[in-house]
Structure formats: structure tokens, C-alpha cells
Amino acid sequence: MVFRKPPDGGWGWVIVLVSFFTQFLCYGSPLAVGVLYLEWLDAFGEGKGKTAWVGSLANGIGLLASPVCSICVSSFGARPVAIFSGFMVAGGLMMSSFAPNIYFLYVSYGIVVGLGCGLLYTATVTITCQYFDKRRGLALGLISTGSSVGLFIYAALQRELIELYGLDGCLLIVGALSLNILACGSLMRPLESSGSPPPEKTCVDKVPDQYIVYHEKGKTVEENISILEKGYGDEKCVNNVPDCKQDIILNKNVLSSINANEKDTYKRKVVEQTNFCKQLAKRKWQLYLTYWKETVVLFKNKVFSALFVAILLFDIGGFPPSLLMEDVARSANINEDDYYMPLISIIGIMTTVGKLILGILADFKWVNTLYLYVTTLLMTGVALFAIPFAKSYLTLAMLSGILGFLTGNWSIFPYVTTKTVGIEKLTHAYGILMFFAGLGNSLGPPIVGWFYDWTQEYDTAFYFSGFCVLLGGFLLLLAALPCWNACTNQGSKLPPNTYSYKVSSSV
């Protein structure tokens, strides 16, 4: 497939629009799953830790499966994957309305919806990057706000639908809304060169049909002649028995006319194809070994290793509030009449604000993006420690806003990764980090829920969450300090392709 130069506009803005609505429609319900979480607790009577697995799987499985999602988009294209994933998200939500138990929800909502969201995220990012080059940062920033706006609107929408139609009706309606992803996906026209010549055939495609027969049978030329002779003769015998013997003799004479040069050509083609397969297997094996060697080199960079620990601990501790904050308010016996806005909606709108403001700050040359990211981690840990002391709607709303704003640090995470490992290794490093981010998303809410089941209060759970985030922030800060780099590198040379943050920040 031959792509034209990214137009940085034109139909690209349509791609931005439909990608925004795609993320809005697919991530709205999973990110606002805290509203459904309360209903599932009452409907199935399971523990908070077990019930929290539903939402954590829906948000984490897409990140865990990011390598598979990338392969699917690369193999089939963004538009087919988006349309197929739209069916997955809508079908998973509708099936969840018929869930007889919590284990059914693990599959229908957690895995099916979560995997569909992961595929859609990869498809929207890929198609947007194809259409934009100079304005790629702006385009990606615009589509990323779709999930945050979805969280803001779906939190209130799902609560209203539950009051009007019940939990099952809410899931059916939300699933029906998700079918609009099909319309959005159909507009993701691939950026192909319409007048481009067809790709040149590979050596496999150039092999003649006679060779294919010869190769599939795995026999000598003489044996293939016998096979063709027998097949032709049998067919003629069925249609015209009297002429059977005569036709067989004639066919034998024709086939035996193949000269020695043709036989040599067949044999040469077999050797060429065998060598081609051997070289292909060797090349794939070399790519596999190179991938793991580069992974080892990445982890030799202590800032990257600290970043990997920080993102894992941040998602274990920082993700649960978006899922459990509504239940925290109910556990604090806050009257629902005091609610001016769902707490999850506050988190959603402030996440959008945080993404924009932190992204703008990261563009200033005098701002060190790594230290800015560390600051958001430390402030998140302090806010999590403050949740057990919040006993009113106003204080919980303020903490929800602060946590939502700080969660917007996702917008600067690619900046931090680039400055840490360099632009050449960004794709490799970012894929590893996203895998562990998904692992943290999957484990965080169940761990907090298990703490509640064990202690019957959320205080210990959020102390644990705050400790995880603070620990990750301090480790990352320690690894990034210039004095620490000077001490560890004194008298020793950095390994090849290993960067300290100071070095890579000049990229």
C-alpha cells in the first residue's frame, strides 16, 4: 500500500471529528463505569473487590492487548477494524444487560468491550497520524479529549437512564448509542494513492502454476506426470468410456514431451523457494532477537526503569478513584440530594482541562517535562491520602477535581517517554509502558475493593493507593536527579544506546 504525503487538513479534519466521537462513544461507559458499579453491587451481592474487576478489565484489557491491536490495524487497516470493533463494543454492552452473574460481566463487559475499545483507540490514533504531520500534536490532542468528554457526559447519562429504565435498559440504550461507531468508522477513508501501480509480485507469486502443483505434491516430475495422467484419464472415462484408453495414450504422449530443460526449471524453482523460506525464517528470528536486545538496553536506562515502575504504581493507585468515588460518597453517608453533579463527571471534565493545560506547559522550553510529570505524581499521592478525611460532598468534589486534573498527565507522558529514550525508540518503549499501565489499571480497583472487604472501610485502601503513587513518584525523581546521575556515572561509561534524562532531553 502506497500512501500519499499527509495533507495536514482537508479530509483529515473529518478524520479528527469522527475519531473524537469514536473515543467518546466507546470510552464513555467504561470510564464512567463507577455509576454501574453501584448497581452491580446491589444486583449480584458480590464483594467490592470481585465486582471491581468488571470495570478494571474494561479499562485495562485494551492496554494489555495493545501489541495485538497494533497488528490488527496494520494488517487490515483502520476502517475495517473500527467497524468490527464498533460491533464488539455495542454487542458487549447489550449482552451485559442480560448478565445472570458477575462472571458473565467479566467476559461481556470486561473483555469484549475492553478489547473493542483498545482496537478503536489504536485505529483512531493510526488513521490520524497518517493524515497529519505538522499538526499531528494538535490532532491527537483533539481526539484524546473525546474519552474525557465521554466520561463527563456518560456519568450523568447512565445515572439518568438507570432511574428511568433500570440497569438493563441503561445498558441496552448505551449499547445502541455505540452503534454510531459504525458510521464513524465508515468515514475513516484510508490515505492511499489512487493512481499508484500495483505492488511488484514477490518471488512466491512469480512461481508458475506448474511449480505450485509440483511443490504441493512434493514428488518428482515423473510422479506428477503420472498423477496428471491418471486424473485426466479418469475424467474422460466417466464421460466417454469407449475412448478412454485412446485418450490416456494420447495424454501420455503429450505429457512425456516435457524436455529436460523444463524439469531443471522446476527443480531450480524448488531450490529458490526453499532458500526463500529459510531466509524469511532467519530474518524473523533475527528481528525477534533484536527486539529483546533492545528491550534489555531500554531497561539499562535507569530513568526508563523508574518510569516503568512509576506508571505501574500510578495506575494501581490513581485509577481507582474514577471507578470507586461514587461508592466512597455512599459509604460516607452523603445525602444524594446534596449532589450537584456526579463526582465522576467532575473527574472527567477536569481531566480534559488537565490534558490541555499540562500539554501547553510541556511545550515551554523552560519546563522540564519529567519534573512536571513527577510533580503530578506526588500531588496525586497527597490527594489520595486526603480522601479518607473528606466527609462532605464539597470536599469530595474538590478532591475529584484535583485528581481529575492531575490524571491529565497522560497528555505529557509521550513527551516524557520521548525525552527519556529518544525518538528512535519511542514506539518500542511506549508499547512496553502501555502494557504495564494496562496491568495497573486491571489490578488497582480490585485491590482497593479487597481492602474494603477486609477492613469494611476505604481509609486503608486509599492510604495504600497514595503510598503506591508517592513511591513511584519518588523513585522517578531520584532516578532523574542530576546529582544521582553524576554519582552513578562517575568513573564509568554509559553503555551504548543508553541515555540519561539530561542527555536525551536535548533530542
Q: Say what the pLDDT of residue 1 is.
A: 46
What's the pLDDT score for residue 423? 61
Q: What is the dihedral of CA 193, 194, 195, 201, to 10 degrees?
A: 70
pLDDT for res 315: 86
pLDDT recorded at residue 212:
40
Q: Can 1-193 and 301-486 be said to share one CATH topology?
A: yes
User: Is pLDDT of 118 > 50?
Assistant: yes
The superfamily CATH assigns to domain 301-486 is: MFS general substrate transporter like domains (1.20.1250.20)
Mean pLDDT of the 108-124 span: 90
Max mean pLDDT range (121-130, 293-302, 332-341, 391-400): 391-400
Under the banding of pLDDT at 50, 70 and 90, the label for residue 233 is very low
Contact 20, 146 (CB under 8 A): yes
Q: What is the mean pLDDT of residues 167-186?
A: 94
d(CA 301, CA 112): 36
d(CA 288, CA 281): 11
How many other CB atoms sit within 10 Å of the CB of residue 28?
26
Q: How far apart are CA 17 and CA 21, in angstroms?
A: 6
SS3 251: helix
The pLDDT, as a whole number, for residue 169 is 93
Does residue 406 contact residue 383 with C-beta atoms inside 8 Å? yes
Q: Name 133's Cβ contacts closer than 8 Å, sequence gap at least 6.
A: 5, 6, 8
Tell me, what's the pLDDT at 219?
Answer: 45
What confidence score (pLDDT) does residue 241 get?
A: 47
* Domain ranges within the chain, ordered by starting residue: 1-193, 301-486
Percentage of residues in the chain having pLDDT higher than 90: 22
Q: How sure is the predictor about 86, in pLDDT bands with cuts at 50, 70 and 90?
A: very high
Residues contacting residue 291 through CB under 8 Å, at least 6 positions apart: 428
Average pLDDT over residues 16-21: 92
457/170: higher pLDDT:
170
Confidence of residue 484 (pLDDT cuts 50, 70, 90): low
Comparing CA positions, the residue from 173, 184, 156, 181 lying closest to residue 89 is 181
Considering the entire predicted model, what is its pTM?
A: 0.65
pLDDT higher than threshold 50 for residue 400: yes
Q: Would the pLDDT of 295 be above 80?
A: no
More confident residue, 442 or 470: 470
87 alpha carbon, distance to own chain's centre: 17
**Window from 239-253, 258-272, 331-345 with minimum mean pLDDT:** 239-253
User: Whole-angstrom Cα distance, residue 63 to residue 226?
Assistant: 56
Q: What CA–CA distance (Å, rounded) separates 265 from 166?
A: 73
Reading the block at residue 321, the C-alpha cell is 478513584
Q: Which of 474, 360, 497, 488 is nearest to 428 (CA)?
A: 497
Compute the distance between CA of residue 327 and CA of residue 321 in angstroms, rounded to an integer. 10
- Give me the mean pLDDT over the 112-136 stretch: 84
Q: According to DSSP H, which parts of 1-135 are helical?
A: 11-31, 33-44, 48-64, 66-76, 78-96, 102-105, 114-131
Q: State the pLDDT at residue 274.
A: 72
Distance CA 73, CA 85 (A): 11
Average pLDDT rounded to a whole number, residues 46-72 = 82
CA angle, residues 205, 206, 210, in degrees to nearest 5: 95
Least confident of 67-71, 164-168, 260-264, 399-403: 260-264
Residue entry with cell 522446476: 266
Given a cut of 90, whether residue 82 has pLDDT beyond it is yes
- Band the pLDDT of 111: cuts 50, 70, 90: very high
pLDDT digits (tens, 9 = 90+) for 179-220: 999 999 999 988 765 444 444 444 444 444 443 443 444 444
**What architecture (CATH level 2) is domain 1-193?**
Up-down Bundle (1.20)
More confident residue, 310 or 442: 310
DSSP state of 106: I
How much is the mean pLDDT over the chain? Answer: 76
